[in-house]
Structure 1
Amino acid sequence: MLTVQIDEVAVQEQIRQRIAELVKEADTELVFWDSKELMRRTCMSWNTIQKEFFFDQRFPKFKVGGKWYFPAQETKKFLLEWLRERR
């Protein structure tokens, strides 16, 4: 006869970790960001964003009505490139 014991605490911790990974993945899969999301992801104020890179012609942005939208993948790519240029 075979007996199997499961450490419930360990299993719950693995489940929590996997859920956290999936939430993080879903968060990075946004199609576009608004200005609040851009500020959150860059840890910059709106004034700093405008001063540093908002008016750079390479920075991808679209104004819909009175609100700015930024394509997530293109914006990430631009921000990494912009940051490397600041070395």
Structure 2
Amino acid sequence: MLQVQVDESAVKQMYQEAIKRQLQELDQELVYWDSKELRRRTCMSWNTIQDNFFHEEDFPKVKIGGKWYFPAKEATEFLNKWLKEKEAKS
């Protein structure tokens, strides 16, 4: 008779790590965000974005035609720095 024991916590951890790697790969595939993606990534409305950081000089953005584009890597770096500055002021 063959008996197999599975460590459920180890399987769960392996599963979570695999999902995390896949999500990181997907994030790296995006070169630019549009305004919809920026709203999704920040969990902010367009008005809140405009009121808080959109018009800051160092916020990376390019308008092509009537649509705004945001370089994903630079926008992420800006947003992390911006949030830390806001946190420090609180």
TM-score (norm 1): 0.77
Aligned to 2:22: 23
The answer for unaligned runs of 5 or more in structure 1 is none
Aligned to 1:33: 33
The alignment covers a number of residue pairs equal to 85
CA apart distance, 1:21: 2.3
After superposition, the C-alpha distances for 1:34-60 in whole angstroms (9 at most, x for unaligned) are 111111111100000000000000000
Counterpart-to-counterpart distance in 2, 1:32 and 1:6: 46
The answer for unaligned runs of 5 or more in structure 2 is none
- Identity percentage over the alignment? 50
Q: Which secondary structure does the structure 2 equivalent of 1:33 belong to? A: strand
Aligned to 1:83: 83
TM-score (norm 2): 0.74
Runs of 4+ that moved beyond 4 A:
12-16
Aligned to 2:51: 51
Aligned to 2:68: 68
CA apart distance, 1:14: 6.8
Counterpart-to-counterpart distance in 1, 2:20 and 2:53: 31
> Greater CA deviation, 39-48 or 23-32?
23-32
Check 1:53–1:19 CA distance in 2 against 1; reply closer, same or farther (3 A cut): same
Counterpart-to-counterpart distance in 2, 1:76 and 1:36: 15
